[in-house]
Amino acid sequence: MLGWQGNEGFLRAALSEAEQQWLAQVQAIDRSALPEKLRHNLPDWLAEALQRELADDFWPFVESMSAGAPLDLRVNSFKAKREDVKAALAKAGIDAEDTPFSPLGLRVQGKPALNKLDVFTRGDVEVQDEGSQLLALLLDAKRGEMVVDFCAGAGGKTLALGAAMRNTGRLYAFDTSGHRLASLKPRLARSGLSNVYPAQIAHERDDRIKRLAGKIDRVLVDAPCSGLGTLRRNPDLKWRQTPQAIEELRAKQAAILASAARLLKPGGRLVYATCSLLREENEAVVEAFTEANKATFRPLPADEALAAAHVQRAPELVRDGFLRLWPHRHATDGFFAAVWQKA
């Protein structure tokens, strides 16, 4: 039943009379009267970690997990302007609103068939959560620079970085998965970008990485993580993670961050990000890196970096100098990011 709110009428029409009666009974249940374990429906270890992190905000967070996620779009600034895209969507009968933080974002309710629209097929927009857009903006890539998206995946942030660079310079999209990088190719073709160089690597110490050491202006590390920030989209994730798995991820994240940092030239910017909600994968990794590299890397306040990239209401997105996004507070997936500048 979770996430049905926007489609309830359609779903009811598809149900038998008995099923409709059952659904009405389920919806009539007072969830606040249920035992806590049934209300939050989380593994004990995760519920305890989030209660420590959120305190009084824990239950609003739980409620946000059942509300579903809106559809966010990023306007391809290399090809189009937000107002023009919004007008094209309106002409197609799709109502879109500006995202509250990202200057490139549009938010659409429901799940319209975007892939049939000209505005999509010609690459004016890409589907991308507003939180993910903010990670790319945090790097603040410039024209003519050498930039690396260290864990590029399917390339959503890669495309945002390439557009910010105005299709100049050189943007490397590294990932250990050739399958994920293959899904970037059709999106890259639509985007009109020719400054992106996808490359599969074996691991974070790959020879391709070593050859670029000390040559790169900006590096984004969207590290492999538990993915718990996407629970409203992938509710089963909470049952597939364990404290032991989180500890293994933490070691991997630290190794990737250390390797990526070696790419930067003096004065370069490094961003570490996850879509995790847990301090173990976020602040703990960042604090350990900062302590080990305090002579070389200076932390930058995320609100200053976001404001410089024209992000609206930047202070609302930042805690203790880090970008910290929550579904119930910001209507985005859960994201974390930290920023450094190399001395």
Residue 54 in any domain: the answer is no
Tell me if 164 is assigned to some domain: yes
Residue 231's φ and ψ, nearest 5 degrees, are -60, -30
The CATH number of whichever domain residue 219 belongs to comes to 3.40.50.150
Q: What is the mean pLDDT of residues 310-327?
A: 97
Q: Tell me: the pLDDT tens digits for 23-40?
A: 565 555 556 666 777 788
Three-state SS at 271:
strand
**Percent above pLDDT 90 for the chain:** 85
Q: How many CB atoms lie within 10 A of CB 95?
A: 12
CA distance 258 to 268: 15
The answer as to whether 62 is a domain residue is no
Is residue 51 in a domain?
no
pLDDT digits 0-9 by tens, 99-139: 999 999 999 988 899 999 999 999 999 999 999 999 999 99
Asked if the structure places residue 172 within a domain, the reply is yes
| pTM, entire model | 0.89
144 found inside a domain:
yes
Residues spanned by the domain of 313: 130-342
How confident is the model over 249-262, as pLDDT tens digits?
Answer: 999 999 999 999 99
pLDDT digits (tens, 9 = 90+) for 157-201: 999 999 999 999 999 999 999 999 999 999 999 999 999 999 999
In a domain, 223, yes or no: yes
Angle between helices 156-164 and 184-191 (to 10 degrees): 20
User: How far, in whole angstroms, is CA 93 from its chain's centroid?
Assistant: 28
Whether the Cβ atoms of residue 224 and residue 275 lie closer than 8 Å to each other: no
Number of structural domains the chain divides into: 1
User: Is residue 275 annotated as a catalytic residue, yes or no?
Assistant: yes
Name the catalytic one among 275, 286, 305, 338.
275
Q: What is the 3-state secondary structure (H, E, C) of 167-230?
A: CCCEEEEEECCHHHHHCHHHHHHHHCCCCEEEEECCCCCCHHHHHCCCCEEEEEEECCCCCHHH
Q: Is residue 181 part of a domain?
A: yes
